[in-house]
Amino acid sequence: MNELTKKTEFFGGCPHDCPDTCSMIFNVEDGVVKGVRGNPDHPMTRGGLCVKLKDYEKRHYHPDRVLYPMRRTGPKGSKQFERISWDTALDEIVSRWKTIINEHGPQAIIPYSYLGHQGLVHGLNGGDAFFNRMGATVCERTFCGEGSCTAWLLTVGPTAGVDPESYIHSKYIVIWACNSVSTNLHHWAIVKEAQRSGAKVVVIDSYASRTAKEADWHICPKPGTDGALAMAVINSIIDQGLVDQDYVDNYTSGFDALKGRASERTPEWASEITGVPADDIRKLARELATAQPAAIRIGVALERHHGGGQTIRAVSSIPALTGAWRHVGGGITQFPVWEHPYKFDVICRPDLIPEGTQVVNNLQIGRALLGELDLKVPIKSMMCWNSNPVTQAPETDKIVEGLKSDDLFLVSAEHFISDTASYADIVLPASMGAEMEDMILSWGHLYLTYNAKSADSPGEAIPNNEIFRRLAAKLGFEEENFKWSDSECLENYVDWESPACEGIDLEYMRKNGFARLTVGTKDDRAPHKEGNFPTESGKCMFEVPGATNFVAGPFRQMYDDLQPGEPLDPLPDYTAPRESPATNPLLAEKFPLNIISPKSHGFLNSCYANMEHKIKGQGEQFVMISAFDAEARNITEGDRVQVANQRGAFKGVARITEDVNPGIVVATLGYWRQLNTGTVNSISSAEFTDMGHAPSFSDNLVEVTRTN
């Protein structure tokens, strides 16, 4: 049906860190990718991509692309490299690693990767088997959504929840802490369709994002206080007698305890904390309970403050209280990936991890490199791919200091000399999307997505997985998985026998480019109509007795030892942010403004922020500030300003706007440090939130000053 007729067209899957995982079509002439477009047959992609990917071919052939293996010749960070051969590069890496292993053991080496590529073969977990076999330090990777995962798994289990496509049937849609217009565009198009058919669209966000401006109702809690809002919604649903008691009695656990906990979390109480009027909270509660089907789409940002996990436990309890799950298009959506049938144990091979292997969390890599963590074995080498911690991780000044150390041997597999690769001892040229076969996981829809090798890599670039194959051979790793071709990996990594894959195999994927998982259709899927939650009890768990903290397996190489493990509150509640004028007045005396750092509309994390025409489209680093705060600081529109706190500083251009309330500034993420003065993460804290070792990117106080 979707089969491509012209030989010059190939199916692609967008490999970027975006829930939409668009199905694409590469147009290839004479072995060169000439253009890319959205697959018109894909029900979510619908023929369109986004501002980032619409000219993806230009990224493939950008003049700054790393084409050959290189060795550092100047001081670290000088970006002086010389070209070397693949053999020399790999021999040098292996010999350095062997020396380190002899002296300190394999745990002195750490892998560092994330979702810079979302492929099953070349993405997040692509190097896990290799480093697990080596016995390297396990890298826990919790950039984005892992606290949310912990809270979600505790409350409702590994369910995909509401199909994002089923929102077409929703009558009430709450988008909570997600700027869909910029980061979930293809879901937004569905939400708009529902709105045209009469659904009310509510956006909850601490500033007037592009998405909030398009909503029927924008609710604007102070940063980090969404948990108070959620608890008061629970209170008010109960108080207004809007609980679906039959649903609660049959399909949930811990209602009485939740009711007790929520009894003091009144709308008036929450109003004080959030700044949202109590009557608005009551109205939200009433509408959420009565306008069915009601669907809640939570964004990654909801976890980014101290109480993030608890917030998500509270929010994901709401649809079971109101019985929204009874309806198609009713309930809540976190990451649909939970129902994708991937064999993470085969991909990651946790069975190869030596007992007692230490874990370092990627958000705290700066602290690890500077010896601030209590590690059994200090880190002497890091291999970094699919990730760029110098712009993306918090406390970046520490990371840079750590990377500068002569004691650290850094290997980067990269497309460009990123802010992190700038400090590498060896840079390896990595293939880009169109240049390698893979299947791309999605945390935003219920389709498998295929990506064909559509063109050869320029220069001597090779796919990530080929890098690990070659390194494994040089290190004498005998396990057969290190010899699998990319196609064989795909055969082994997907559970093709699972019920969700009925009628789908790799051949089907190659022919069609994508496949809808057989987990119900958008028009009939109501997975928890009669409970059936994939929790131990089969119920939605308002209360989880004996719960302890953990990070979901795929984000820690499937290693289950040495989990955080501290006891968690059995019930959801509001946990205040660490850094806000209300909770830390002493710090707020020096740094009175809360900063939020969402993704830039025109960049994808730090990808594209080095390409001139993308920078032109996105504009330079800006700092959104209210007129009230600007005036108090003698700042006028367009002034150069510095944003700083005890951790670091960055510079930007002041944009005075009503889109942020007094007390709040917004600066978007992704700008390169080497092209700017600092980046937003220079000021971010590497402290974890309450669950899943999630980042606290929205829990930071700063001061803004004029510099011109």
Partner 1 sequence: MPHIVTDNCQSCRFTDCVSHCPVECFHEDDERLYINPDVCVDCGACIPACPVQAIYDVVDMPEDKEPWIKVNAERSKNLPVIMSKQEPLPTAERRRTELGL
Interacting residue ranges for ligand SF4, rule: CB under 6 A: 14, 16, 18, 20-22, 49-50, 52-53, 185-186, 604
Pick between residue 52 and residue 614 the one whose CB is nearest to ligand SF4.
52
Q: How far is the CB of 423 from ligand SF4 (least distance, A)?
A: 27
In the shown chain, the binding pattern of residues 434 to 473 toward partner 1, with x for contact by CB under 8 A and - for none, equals ----------------------------------------
Pick between residue 389 and residue 433 the one whose CB is nearest to partner 1.
433
Binding site partner of 214, from ligand SF4, partner 1, none, Cβ cut-off 5-8 A by kind: partner 1
- Candidates 200, 112, 616; CA nearest to 390 is 112
Q: How far is the CB of 617 from ligand SF4 (least distance, A)?
A: 11
Non-local CB neighbours of 668 within 8 Å, separated by 6+ positions: 597, 598, 599, 600, 601, 603, 621, 622, 680
Question: Cβ distance 695 to 304 under 8 Å?
Answer: yes
Separation in Å, CA 410 to CA 89, 100, 105? 12, 12, 17
Q: What is the DSSP letter of 669?
A: B
The residue within the footprint of partner 1, chosen from 3, 7, 103, 196 (CB under 8 A), is 196
Which stretches of 443-531 are DSSP H helices? 464-474, 486-493, 506-512
Separation in Å, CA 563 to CA 304, 536, 567, 689, 692? 20, 20, 12, 15, 9
Binding site partner of 598, from ligand SF4, partner 1, none, Cβ cut-off 5-8 A by kind: none
Question: Does residue number 7 form part of the binding site for partner 1 (CB under 8 A)?
Answer: no
Rounded distance, CA 284 to CA 225, Å?
Answer: 16
Q: How far is the CB of 53 from ligand SF4 (least distance, A)?
A: 4
- Candidates 676, 675, 650, 678; CA nearest to 665 is 650
Question: Does residue number 653 form part of the binding site for partner 1 (CB under 8 A)?
Answer: no
Pick between residue 337 and residue 683 the one whose CB is nearest to ligand SF4.
337
Non-local CB neighbours of 349 within 8 Å, separated by 6+ positions: 128, 129, 132, 133, 479, 481, 558
Question: Does residue number 62 form part of the binding site for partner 1 (CB under 8 A)?
Answer: no
Pick between residue 602 and residue 652 the one whose CB is nearest to ligand SF4.
602
The values of phi and psi at residue 396, to 5°, are -70, -25
Q: How far is the CB of 118 from ligand SF4 (least distance, A)?
A: 9
**Packing angle between helix 464-474 and helix 486-493, nearest 10 degrees?**
100
Question: Cβ distance 352 to 318 under 8 Å?
Answer: no
Which stretches of 117-177 are DSSP H helices? 128-134, 146-155
The residue within the footprint of partner 1, chosen from 277, 619, 638, 662 (CB under 8 A), is 619
Q: Which residues on neighbouring strands pair with residue 661, listed in sequence order? A: none
Q: For residue 113, give both structure tokens.
A: 């990767």
Q: How far is the CB of 325 from ligand SF4 (least distance, A)?
A: 28
Pick between residue 16 and residue 304 the one whose CB is nearest to ligand SF4.
16
Question: Does residue number 214 form part of the binding site for partner 1 (CB under 8 A)?
Answer: yes
Q: How far is the CB of 20 from ligand SF4 (least distance, A)?
A: 4
Pick between residue 25 and residue 683 the one whose CB is nearest to ligand SF4.
25
Question: Does residue number 37 form part of the binding site for partner 1 (CB under 8 A)?
Answer: yes
Question: Does residue number 215 form part of the binding site for partner 1 (CB under 8 A)?
Answer: no
The residue within the footprint of partner 1, chosen from 189, 375, 377, 627 (CB under 8 A), is 189
Q: Which residues on neighbouring strands pair with residue 656, listed in sequence order? A: 625
Size of the site for partner 1 (CB under 8 A): 28
**Residue list 358-377, contact with partner 1 (CB under 8 A):** none
Rounded distance, CA 463 to CA 544, Å?
Answer: 43
Q: What is the DSSP letter of 137?
A: P
Taking the CB of residue 284, how many other CB atoms lie within 10 A of it? 24
Question: Does residue number 4 form part of the binding site for partner 1 (CB under 8 A)?
Answer: no
Rounded distance, CA 452 to CA 435, Å?
Answer: 8
Rounded distance, CA 53 to CA 608, Å?
Answer: 9
Pick between residue 83 and residue 616 the one whose CB is nearest to partner 1.
616
Strand-pair category, 294-298 with 252-253: unpaired
Q: How far is the CB of 48 from partner 1 (least distance, A)?
A: 3
Q: Of 243-251, 386-394, 509-517, 609-617, which part binds partner 1 (CB under 8 A)?
A: 609-617
Q: How far is the CB of 291 from ligand SF4 (least distance, A)?
A: 28
Question: Does residue number 185 form part of the binding site for partner 1 (CB under 8 A)?
Answer: yes
Binding site partner of 16, from ligand SF4, partner 1, none, Cβ cut-off 5-8 A by kind: ligand SF4
Q: Which residues on neighbouring strands pair with residue 36, listed in sequence order? A: 26
Rounded distance, CA 33 to CA 28, Å?
Answer: 4
Question: Does residue number 210 form part of the binding site for partner 1 (CB under 8 A)?
Answer: yes
Binding site partner of 601, from ligand SF4, partner 1, none, Cβ cut-off 5-8 A by kind: partner 1
Binding site partner of 18, from ligand SF4, partner 1, none, Cβ cut-off 5-8 A by kind: ligand SF4
Question: Does residue number 38 form part of the binding site for partner 1 (CB under 8 A)?
Answer: yes
The residue within the footprint of partner 1, chosen from 182, 311, 535, 645 (CB under 8 A), is 182
Which residues lie near partner 1 (CB under 8 A)?
Answer: 37-38, 46-51, 54-55, 181-182, 185-186, 188-189, 192, 196, 210, 213-214, 601-602, 613, 616-619
